């Protein structure tokens, strides 16, 4: 039953033949062997079946990776080549001198502080207030691992802390952590979150999900994704983005937010509500809580005729579905599919 | 291929983003295959490729010969993938759920398409069970249709080594496939 030694060689040749790597002089030998060896003929048949199956699996994987990569790398947004390397090199050169200088200043401050305030504690300097232009970073799980502008930062001990400058891009590889500022705004990130701290009051979410807590009276926060902008004053909400699908979701946990796409009228969202926006402007809007009546709401596709201030709800339009409809989206929400983009094709973002 | 690539690399060095975009397009698929081979996770593979492109762009000055961009870049992909492998974590489960939901949204097509899709998923699982070195070589051959010589260059091995590894990888795959077909009563 076992194949002859010659058969082993022939089967390797079959594999090479499949790859068009078998020298022509061996093809004739192979054919001649197959003519009289039913074992190898069967093996060849199975081999071809396996190759067909393999192609099917490979195509699936390859298609998925392609889909994930499409639109995620935008070379036009990259900084000039080599620039960051030069900056890094310059920073490396300057680092020892800066460190020495900083240490000297700290020693001086501590001598003065101890002389003037005997009860002085170092951590009072930064406790509750991050340095201007910086935000604090804290681990919530012991496997918290992030990258800041591509550089790995290990905060893998529960409670580990650090600082991050505004303008940096953060990618959370594992675990969960918090980014906070002196005003008490907190961004909770977890594995998959990819965002840029674009300003003191603005964040761009590139991919993944993040939860934002904004205390009232602290200047608010703007969270931008390619599909939608969310403006808040004092609230807790989550934004999730699937970069590969050009799709964003905003979910309000406390208070209310205003979401807007391009120059359209802001749409207020209240507690428990969420909105999904795609790059094409399609939008779904639903209530989360079980038992609540899903009220039809206006869409972001409403044409702009005199911009409003965002607190004013746009006119309601009828939903095509009755609110008590049994169908549920994921998480058990009552979906309200609204035909929203009235001006499809004229993307007001001008980024598409 | 190098003739086509060298001028693009040269232009990219001067800050030409269009040229770099073309380089991205030319290498995206093979980079994805390599990263998937190592990481066995499409999301992580996409991350690795993305990171590698950013790193390549920033380090173009470090490339000595423009014509060697492909090998240099694919080495960055491999290194980055191996880095991620050390810290591999599953993507946030919610994302996966949404992906599944969106896939389901597309609705079932004709039964043949559905069967093929299911089979594709099964093969993908088998592929995931193979050792990384087998998966890597299978992806380069079956997804990229690279010659033994090209694969050898990418993986830093010999043509003979590639041929041998491919044969063993296919053998391992055939064994698993036989078991799968046996257990499902032959769904092909």
* Contact across the interface for B42 and A61, Cβ inside 8 Å: yes
Q: Picking from B6-15, B91-100, B114-123, which range would have the lowest pLDDT averaged per residue?
A: B91-100
Residue B68, min C-alpha distance to chain A (Å): 18
pLDDT by residue (tens digit) across B96-136?
A: 333 343 343 344 445 656 666 677 778 888 888 889 889 98
Greatest Cα pair distance in chain B:
59
pLDDT of residue B161: 94
What are the start and end residues of each CATH 1.10.1740.10 domain in chain B? Answer: 2-86
- Across chain A, mean pLDDT equals 68
pLDDT of residue A280: 57
| Dist. CA A43–CA B102, nearest whole Å | 40
Residue A74, min C-alpha distance to chain B (Å): 8
Is residue A142 less than 8 Å (CB to CB) from chain B?
Answer: no
SS (H, E, C) chain A: CCCCHHHHHHHHHHHHHHCCCCCHHHHHHHHHHHHHCHHHHHHHHHHHHHHHHHHHHHHHHHHHHHHHHCCCCCHHHCCCCCHHHHHHHHHHHHHHHHHHHHHHHHHHHHHHHHHHCCCCCHHHHCCCCCCCCEEEEEECCCCCEEEECCEEEECCCCCCEEEEECCCEEEEEECEEEEECCCCCEEEEECCCEEEEEECCEEEEEEEEEEEEECCCCCCEEEECCCCEEEECCEEEEEEEEHHHCEEEEEEEECCEEEECCCCCCEEECCCEEEEEECCCCEEEEECCCCCCCCCCCCCCCCCCCCCCCCCCCCCCCCCCCCCCCCCCHHHCEEEEECCCCCCCCCCCCCC
* Contact across the interface for A57 and B57, Cβ inside 8 Å: no
Residue B24: is its pLDDT beyond 50? yes
* Contact across the interface for A68 and B126, Cβ inside 8 Å: no
pLDDT of residue B17: 83
Residue A289: is its pLDDT beyond 90? no
* Contact across the interface for B139 and A58, Cβ inside 8 Å: yes
pLDDT of residue B95: 36
Residues of A with Cβ-Cβ distance to B97 under 8 angstroms: 330
Residues of B with Cβ-Cβ distance to A240 under 8 angstroms: 94-95
Spell out the domain ranges in chain A.
5-69, 77-125, 133-303+313-338
pLDDT of residue A210: 92
pLDDT of residue B67: 83
pLDDT by residue (tens digit) across A114-168?
A: 665 554 444 444 433 333 467 888 888 777 888 888 888 777 766 677 888 888 8
pLDDT of residue A181: 84
* Contact across the interface for B61 and A76, Cβ inside 8 Å: no
pLDDT of residue B149: 92
pTM of the full structure: 0.45
Is residue A108 less than 8 Å (CB to CB) from chain B?
Answer: no
The pair of structure tokens assigned to A28 is 């004739």
Q: Is the ipTM of this complex over 0.90?
A: no
Is residue A278 less than 8 Å (CB to CB) from chain B?
Answer: no
pLDDT of residue A284: 52
| Mean pLDDT confidence for A209-224 | 83
The H helix count followed by the E strand count for chain B is 9, 0
| Dist. CA A180–CA A315, nearest whole Å | 37
* Residue of chain A whose alpha carbon sits nearest to that of B19: A75
CATH 1.10.1740.10 fits B2-86, yes or no: yes
pLDDT of residue A98: 66
What are the start and end residues of each CATH 1.10.10.10 domain in chain B? Answer: 110-183
Residue A323 CA neighbour count, 13 Å, CB half: 12
Q: Are A323 and A294 within 8 A, CB to CB?
A: yes
Q: Predicted confidence band at B168 (pLDDT cuts at 50, 70, 90)?
A: very high
- Candidates B42, B81, B171, B182: best to mutate against A (most CBs of A within 10 A) is B42
pLDDT of residue A302: 33
| Dist. CA A44–CA A33, nearest whole Å | 12
Residue A343: is its pLDDT beyond 70? no
B143 → closest Cβ in A62, A80, A191: A62
A257 DSSP β-pair partners: A269
Residues of B with Cβ-Cβ distance to A208 under 8 angstroms: 92, 95
CATH 1.10.10.10 fits B110-183, yes or no: yes
pLDDT of residue A268: 74
pLDDT of residue B158: 93
Q: Are A38 and A32 within 8 A, CB to CB?
A: no
pLDDT of residue B94: 34
* Contact across the interface for B98 and A150, Cβ inside 8 Å: no
Residue B41, min C-alpha distance to chain A (Å): 9
| Mean pLDDT confidence for A333-350 | 33
pLDDT by residue (tens digit) across A54-98?
A: 887 887 788 888 877 776 666 555 666 555 545 545 555 565 666
* Contact across the interface for A65 and B32, Cβ inside 8 Å: yes
CATH class of A133-303+313-338: mainly beta
The pair of structure tokens assigned to B88 is 């591999």
Polymer length in residues for chain B: 188
- Candidates A65, A144, A156: best to mutate against B (most CBs of B within 10 A) is A65
* Contact across the interface for A192 and B50, Cβ inside 8 Å: no
| Dist. CA A187–CA A132, nearest whole Å | 17
pLDDT of residue A226: 79
Q: Picking from A301-310, A334-343, B16-25, which range would have the lowest pLDDT averaged per residue?
A: A334-343
Is residue A328 less than 8 Å (CB to CB) from chain B?
Answer: no
């Amino acid at each position: 039953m076992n194949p002859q030694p010659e058969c082993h060689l022939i089967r390797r040749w079959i594999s090479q033949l499949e790859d068009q790597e078998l020298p022509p002089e061996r093809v004739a030998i192979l054919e001649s062997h197959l003519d009289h060896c039913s074992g190898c003929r069967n093996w060849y048949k199975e081999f071809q079946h396996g190759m067909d199956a393999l192609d099917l699996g490979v195509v699936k994987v390859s298609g998925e990776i392609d889909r994930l990569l499409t639109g995620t790398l935008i070379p036009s947004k990259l900084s000039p080549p080599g620039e960051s390397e030069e900056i890094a090199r310059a920073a490396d050169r300057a680092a020892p001198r800066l460190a020495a200088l900083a240490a000297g200043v700290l020693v001086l401050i501590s001598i003065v502080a101890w002389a003037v305030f005997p009860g002085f504690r170092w951590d009072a300097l930064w406790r509750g207030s991050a340095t201007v232009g910086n935000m604090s970073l804290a681990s919530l799980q012991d496997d918290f691992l992030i990258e800041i502008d591509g550089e790995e930062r290990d905060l893998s001990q529960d409670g580990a802390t650090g600082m991050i400058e505004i303008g940096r891009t953060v990618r959370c590889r594992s675990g969960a952590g918090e980014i906070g500022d002196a005003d008490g705004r907190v961004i909770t990130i977890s594995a998959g979150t990819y965002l840029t701290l674009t300003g003191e009051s603005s964040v761009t979410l590139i991919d993944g999900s993040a939860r934002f807590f904004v205390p009232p009276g602290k200047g608010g926060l703007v969270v931008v994704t390619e599909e939608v902008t969310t403006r808040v004053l004092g609230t807790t909400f989550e934004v999730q983005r699937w970069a590969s699908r050009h799709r964003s979701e905003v979910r309000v946990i406390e208070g209310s937010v205003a979401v807007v796409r391009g120059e359209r009228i802001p749409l207020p969202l209240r507690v428990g509500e969420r909105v999904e926006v795609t790059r094409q402007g399609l939008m779904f809007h639903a209530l989360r809580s079980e038992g609540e009546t899903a009220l039809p709401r206006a869409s972001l596709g409403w044409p702009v005729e005199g911009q409003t201030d965002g607190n004013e709800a746009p006119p309601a339009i009828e939903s095509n579905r009755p609110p008590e409809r049994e169908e549920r989206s994921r998480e058990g929400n009552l979906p309200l599919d609204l035909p929203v983009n009235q001006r499809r094709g004229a993307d007001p973002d001008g980024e598409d | 291929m190098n003739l086509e690539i060298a001028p693009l690399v040269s232009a990219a060095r001067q800050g030409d983003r269009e040229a770099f975009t073309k380089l991205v397009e030319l290498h995206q698929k093979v980079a994805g295959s390599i990263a998937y081979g190592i990481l066995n996770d499409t999301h992580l593979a996409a991350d690795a490729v993305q990171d590698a492109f950013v790193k390549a762009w920033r380090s173009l000055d470090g490339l000595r010969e423009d014509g060697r961009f492909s090998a240099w870049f694919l080495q960055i992909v491999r290194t980055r993938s191996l880095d991620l492998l050390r810290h591999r974590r599953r993507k946030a489960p919610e994302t996966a759920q949404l992906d599944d939901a969106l896939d389901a949204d597309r609705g079932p097509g004709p039964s043949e398409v559905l069967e093929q899709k299911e089979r594709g998923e099964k093969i993908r699982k088998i592929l995931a069970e193979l050792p990384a070195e087998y998966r890597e070589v299978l992806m380069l051959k079956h997804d990229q249709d690279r010659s033994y010589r090209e694969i050898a260059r990418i993986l830093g091995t010999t043509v003979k080594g590639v041929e041998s590894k491919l044969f063993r990888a296919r053998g391992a795959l055939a064994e698993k496939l036989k078991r799968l077909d046996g257990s499902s009563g032959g769904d092909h």
